[in-house]
Chain A
Amino acid sequence: SQTIHQWPATLVQPVGSPLSLECTVEGTSNPNLYWYRQAAGRGLQLLFYSVGIGQISSEVPQNLSASRPQDRQFILSSKKLLLSDSGFYLCAWSEGSQPQHFGDGTRLSIL
């Protein structure tokens, strides 16, 4: 069966520091991969999605970037974090038009 791993679960970072969140999927090949941000009590905001290695689509202009160095690895990065980058970050995967399946998320706090 397929599993998705996302880490770390929580992260506290100072303003201006770099960021790297990692997500890996097991048990499937060439999945679609997604990064979302969820503000408290709000819906899911799609940040990036990828349909293959090296193929990244950005949905919202911002301080973040994404990379897919391997088929089942998706990384969310920032060179310099802003206070507004705080939030709950979720990674997800899907096969074609099948439903997405989510990791347990990373709670990011910027001080």
Chain B
Amino acid sequence: EDQVTQSPEALRLQEGESSSLNCSYTVSGLRGLFWYRQDPGKGPEFLFTLYSAGEEKEKERLKATLTKKESFLHITAPKPEDSATYLCAVLGNTGGFKTIFGAGTRLFVKA
């Protein structure tokens, strides 16, 4: 059964304090690993897709990396506006187009 576990559940940072969020996954044949950002009361906003181990994607202060068992979302010099819940999700070879989502990491960045 495909599974996604995100850690930590919550992370509090000072502005400018870099850190990483973890996404551990188990999937039968990875077709894609996705990162999303979700603000309170809004739908998730797509950030990145990673397809194979060793791949990296960057957008502003965010960089996503992928290994065969984990993905990391690195946040460099975060700002208060980066505060949000970050969701990780995987799409495997079984289950058609069903994407499995983790419970998310709530990030709080204090000025």
Asked whether, in the complex, the Cβ of B42 is within 8 Å of the Cβ of A104, the reply is yes
Write out the residue numbers on chain A whose beta carbons fall within 8 Å of the beta carbon of B104.
43
Q: Which residue of A lies closest to B39 (CB)?
A: A104
A49-B97 in contact given A43-B104, A97-B32, A99-B32 (Cβ < 8 Å):
yes
Write out the residue numbers on chain B whose beta carbons fall within 8 Å of the beta carbon of A102.
36, 43-45
Give Cα A42 to B44, complex, Å: 13
Residue-wise interface mask of A (66-99) relative to B, using a CB-CB cutoff of 8 A (1 in contact, 0 not): 0000000000000000000000001010101111
Interface: B71 (CB within 8 A): no
Interface size class of A (residues with CB under 8 A): 20 to 34
Q: Which residue of A lies closest to B48 (CB)?
A: A99
Asked whether, in the complex, the Cβ of B87 is within 8 Å of the Cβ of A44, the reply is yes
Write out the residue numbers on chain A whose beta carbons fall within 8 Å of the beta carbon of B91.
97
A105-B41 in contact given A99-B34, A99-B49 (Cβ < 8 Å):
yes
Write out the residue numbers on chain A whose beta carbons fall within 8 Å of the beta carbon of B18.
none
Q: Identify which of B43, B44, B104 gathers the most chain A CB atoms within 10 Å of its CB.
A: B43
Interface: B72 (CB within 8 A): no
Give Cα A107 to B103, complex, Å: 19
The 8 closest A-B pairs by CB, nearest first: A102-B43, A43-B103, A44-B101, A99-B34, A97-B31, A32-B97, A43-B101, A105-B43
Binding site for A on B (CB under 8 A): 31-32, 34, 36, 41-46, 49, 87, 89, 91, 96-99, 101-104, 106
Binding site for B on A (CB under 8 A): 6, 32, 41-44, 46, 49, 51, 57, 59, 90, 92, 94, 96-105, 107
Known: A44-B87, A92-B43, A100-B89. 13 other contacts (CB 8 A): A43-B104, A44-B44, A44-B101, A49-B98, A57-B96, A90-B44, A98-B32, A99-B32, A99-B49, A100-B99, A102-B44, A103-B43, A105-B43
